[in-house]
């Protein structure tokens, strides 16, 4: 059977004369099935070039010429390649205080909920390289005007490589250029000498954030029902199909405290899950309890 094959773009080829990798349509379809099963990510036909570009790096690293052979390796999970496969196909687009309207809302919510309990848990479902969970930690510090607020940030991600970046808490200065100078001085240390052009999250801020690998397709997130004051699951669901979104919401909503809130991305809508969540603000939801209560 004649098969359509994609060849690596010339500007992505390493040494002169190195040929591209064999990437047939059936390989792409297999990638789609594998990443959906492992991470819930749905890939459309327009993602084929992206898949090639990202996975070609793994083929090159493993000395493999055919995508079919590489995917066999992933399915055997030889030397942890299954994890590398997921890491390669995970999109990690993030910034400090992205979708900024959520953070004043969270600050008000945390102050109100603290009157009813000794400590609060905020879960960031897609920590990426750490900008979002550290933004949440900054918000908590400012909400309580304390470097040790009664708030714990749980930051999880399926991509273990980005969690390593988050754990270091070191970023190029341009990443914090949009943060006002008072915040920059209070929460970041500027590098000097060999670290010129870099900044580091201050240790007291990093101490508020617990980083943990987690797949949202897992059946158990390791959290108690009703334990979360807030769940930030932003710009994650857009990569899932509707049935997967629904299953994830089924697992998240019981974790919200009675006054807890789910914060989502601007492109995400859950009309198909009206029995699970109800909007209560701009891309903010509450859990619908049995019988329609809060």
pLDDT of residue 91: 75
In this predicted model, what pLDDT tens digit does every residue of 212-269 receive, in sequence order?
A: 999 999 999 999 999 999 999 999 998 899 999 999 999 999 999 999 999 999 889 9
pLDDT of residue 56: 94
- Ordered domains of the chain (ranges, CATH): 5-89 (1.10.155.10), 102-287 (3.40.50.150)
98 annotated binding-site participant: yes
Is 157 noted as a catalytic residue in this protein?
yes
Ranges under pLDDT 50 in the chain: 1-19, 292-294
Measured in Å, how far apart are the chain's first and last C-alpha atoms?
57
pLDDT of residue 267: 86
Catalytic residue among 30, 38, 54, 200: 54
pLDDT of residue 39: 86
pLDDT of residue 264: 96
Residue with tokens 């890491």: 87
Residue in 28, 70, 8, 32 with CA at minimum distance from that of residue 239: 32
Catalytic residue among 48, 157, 159, 261: 157
271 annotated binding-site participant: no
pLDDT of residue 117: 67
111 annotated binding-site participant: no
Residue 208 and residue 187 in contact, taking contact as beta carbons nearer than 8 Å:
no
pLDDT of residue 217: 94
Residues facing residue 278 across a β-bridge? 286
Cα separation of 35 and 33, whole Å? 6
Is 185 noted as a catalytic residue in this protein?
no
pLDDT of residue 102: 97
pLDDT of residue 116: 67
Give the tokens for residue 276.
């699970």
Residues facing residue 6 across a β-bridge? 23
pLDDT of residue 20: 84
195 annotated binding-site participant: no
């Amino acid at each position: 059977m004649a098969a359509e094959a994609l060849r690596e773009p010339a500007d992505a080829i390493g040494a002169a004369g190195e040929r591209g990798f064999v990437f047939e349509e059936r390989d792409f379809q297999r990638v789609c099935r594998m990443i959906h099963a492992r991470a819930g990510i749905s890939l459309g036909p327009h993602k084929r070039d992206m898949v090639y570009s990202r996975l070609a790096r793994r083929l090159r690293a493993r000395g493999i010429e055919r995508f079919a052979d590489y995917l066999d390796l992933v399915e055997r999970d030889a030397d942890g390649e299954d994890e590398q496969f997921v890491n390669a196909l995970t999109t990690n687009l993030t910034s400090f205080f992205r979708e900024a309207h959520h953070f004043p809302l969270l600050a008000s919510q945390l102050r109100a909920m603290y009157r009813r309990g000794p400590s609060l848990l905020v879960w960031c479902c897609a920590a990426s390289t750490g900008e979002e969970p550290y933004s949440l930690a900054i918000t908590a510090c400012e909400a309580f005007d304390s470097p040790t607020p009664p708030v714990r940030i749980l930051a999880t991600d399926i991509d273990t490589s980005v969690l390593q970046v988050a754990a270091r808490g070191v970023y190029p200065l341009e990443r914090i250029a949009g943060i006002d100078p008072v915040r920059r001085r209070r929460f970041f240390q500027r590098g000097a000498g060999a670290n010129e052009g870099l900044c580091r999250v201050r240790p007291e801020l990093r101490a508020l954030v617990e980083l943990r690998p987690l797949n949202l397709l897992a059946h158990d997130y390791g959290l108690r029902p009703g334990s979360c004051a807030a769940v930030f699951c932003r710009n994650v669901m857009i990569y899932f199909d509707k049935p997967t979104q629904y299953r994830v919401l089924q697992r998240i909503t019981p974790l919200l405290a009675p006054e807890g809130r789910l914060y989502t991305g601007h492109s995400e809508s859950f009309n198909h899950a009206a029995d699970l969540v109800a909007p209560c603000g701009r891309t903010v939801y509450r859990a619908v309890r049995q019988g329609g209560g809060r």
